[in-house]
């Protein structure tokens, strides 16, 4: 179980993480989704005591990480696969981790096999590709037989086969009662791996919940030959909408109050002709995520213009 309460951190008065509260249950994989610089890594580093929060707390199995007597036996971490000594071999790196955890060095060979690095074990980490370093990092995270994993962008640098392998591994870990918190800036990656989701933007959680719930279609697309009249009708009925795609309008129905029937009634009452009325194909989560990341991506361009 990984829990955080109102974690908050600023660097030089610029807020990086704001009131982030998470709860990762045993047996689940929680995806921590956000664009670059959204505050995912800083949050994870606060959970494992590498960064001191300005406010808030984080616990693993009810205890702050820094109070765990031998943390790698409880929670495995992979925060930055490039932060390994390049002059040490993969096997030596894992052997150090095994000795710190106090597990038998037999486990080093087992994990080298598991992550597919047995043939490269004697090579120096400096010669590894990013994907190989990710595999070594995953092995290092697993070395102490932990019951929880905290992984920052573990799919980075992995080839498609490696990504599929990692998904299977994490699912297996969770199915055996493990707790997984993994971050990603790619929605489809999280969708394919996680069963719980926390979306973070500008340091704050914008939405969280079960993936299935969040993925349930939550918008309706309405199209009329006279979009101006349609928009006016929706405004009168106090129904929020956004323009697009094309000349259609998209209505957020996540509250459950608005259905296709409600919209059809509004159109009839205002004598607006509808040519299309259906559940949107793109789900609300995707729209939310794209609007968040698009807004972030647009900012520097506007600044440059």
**Residue closer to other proteins, measured from CB, 87 or 256:** 87
Please identify which residue in 4, 28, 43, 72 interacts with other proteins, judged by CB under 8 A: 72
CB of residue 159 vs other proteins: minimum separation in angstroms?
9
- Name the nearest CA neighbour of 35 among 134, 183, 193, 180: 183
**Shortest Cβ 6–other proteins spacing (Å):** 18
Of 5, 19, 96, 252, which lies in the binding site for other proteins, with binding defined by CB under 8 A?
Answer: 96
How is 247-293 classified by DSSP, letter by letter? T-EEEE-TTSS--HHHHHHHHHHTT---SEEEE-SS-HHHHHHHHHH
Under rule CB under 8 A, how many of the chain's residues touch other proteins?
56
What separation, in Å, do the N-terminal and C-terminal C-alpha atoms of the chain show? 47
Alpha-carbon gap, residue 195 to 213, rounded angstroms = 10
Stretch near other proteins under the rule CB under 8 A, chosen from 90-98, 184-192, 277-285, 291-299: 90-98
Which string of x and - marks every residue 129-168 that binds other proteins (by CB under 8 A)? -----------x-x--xxx-------------xx--x--x
Q: Rounded distance, CA 299 to CA 146, Å?
A: 41
Comparing CB distances to other proteins, the nearer of 169 and 277 is: 169
Q: Return the DSSP state at 72.
A: G
For other proteins, the binding residues (CB under 8 A) are: 26, 45, 48-52, 65-66, 68-74, 77, 79-80, 82-88, 92, 96-97, 99-102, 107, 113-114, 116-119, 124, 140, 142, 145-147, 161-162, 165, 168-169, 172-173, 176-178
């Amino acid at each position: 179980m990984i829990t955080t309460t109102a974690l908050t951190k600023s660097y030089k008065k610029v807020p990086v993480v704001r009131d982030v509260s998470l709860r990762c249950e045993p047996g689940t994989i929680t995806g921590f989704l956000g664009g670059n610089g959204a505050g995912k890594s800083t949050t994870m580093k606060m959970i494992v005591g590498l960064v001191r929060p300005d406010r808030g707390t984080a616990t693993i199995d009810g205890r702050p990480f820094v109070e765990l007597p031998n943390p790698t036996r409880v929670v495995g971490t992979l925060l930055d696969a490039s932060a390994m000594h390049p002059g040490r071999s993969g096997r030596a790196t894992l052997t150090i981790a095994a000795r710190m955890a106090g597990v038998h060095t037999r486990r080093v060979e087992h994990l080298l096999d598991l992550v597919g690095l047995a043939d490269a074990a004697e090579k120096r980490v400096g010669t590894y590709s990013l994907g190989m370093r990710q595999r070594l990092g995953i092995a290092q995270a697993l070395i102490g037989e932990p019951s929880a994993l905290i992984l920052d962008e573990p799919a980075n640098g992995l080839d498609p086969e490696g990504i599929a392998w990692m998904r299977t591994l994490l699912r297996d870990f969770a199915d055996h009662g493990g707790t997984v918190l993994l971050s990603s800036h790619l929605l489809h990656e999280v969708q394919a791996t996680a069963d719980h989701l926390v979306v973070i933007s500008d340091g704050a959680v914008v939405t969280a919940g079960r993936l299935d719930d969040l993925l349930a279609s939550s918008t309706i697309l309405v199209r009329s030959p006279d979009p101006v009249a349609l928009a006016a009708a929706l405004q009168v009925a106090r129904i929020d909408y956004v323009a697009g795609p094309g000349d259609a309008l998209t209505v957020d129905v996540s509250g459950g109050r608005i259905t296709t029937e409600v919209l059809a009634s509004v159109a009839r009452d205002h004598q607006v002709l509808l040519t299309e009325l259906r559940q949107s194909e793109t789900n609300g989560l995707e729209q939310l995520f794209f609007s968040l990341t698009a807004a972030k991506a647009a900012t520097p361009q506007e600044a440059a213009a």
